[in-house]
Amino acid sequence: MTDEVKKVSEKVEKMVEEVSKLTVLELSELVSALQDKLGVSAAMPVAAASAPAGATAGEAAPAADGGNKTVVMTDSGANKIAVIKALREINQNLSLMDAKAMTETLPAEVLKDAKAEDAKAASDKLVAAGAKVELK
């Protein structure tokens, strides 16, 4: 890892050193501030990452008894850290920033066209973490 750090400029190395001292909440604020300043959003990869997972789940059980369900988080609750952890357990493709963005842009589709049992399991994890969830 030290070899990688030596490849960057001294200015970048100092920034990395300072950023590594920040807490998770401070990093979250930094990312939000950079997104606002640069006019970009981390929300796009979430939608792109969710689409293939939803399509796979839909193909696996087209005629399931309960049908396919969509899990929609309507409120992230008071303990957002637990909800972020639950979101990342449900979808391992989510980065920390993507999961945090989902807790801030509500309502958010967590799973789309998933098997009824998968949707129920995801819903239970989120409710246990303190979020309010709807199954559609």
pLDDT range class, residue 44, cuts 50, 70, 90: very low
Q: What is the CATH class of 43-135? A: alpha beta
The tokens describing 128, both together, are: 């246990």
User: What confidence score (pLDDT) does residue 35 get?
Assistant: 79
Single pTM value for the model: 0.51
User: What confidence score (pLDDT) does residue 59 get?
Assistant: 40
Q: What percent of the chain has pLDDT over 90?
A: 1
Name 82's Cβ contacts closer than 8 Å, sequence gap at least 6: 129, 130
* Helices 96-104, 43-60: crossing angle, 10 deg rounding: 90
Separation CA 22–CA 109 (nearest Å): 30
**Cβ contact 76:118 at 8 Å:** no
User: What confidence score (pLDDT) does residue 41 get?
Assistant: 66
User: What confidence score (pLDDT) does residue 51 get?
Assistant: 42
Q: Where in the chain is the domain with CATH 3.30.1390.10?
A: 43-135
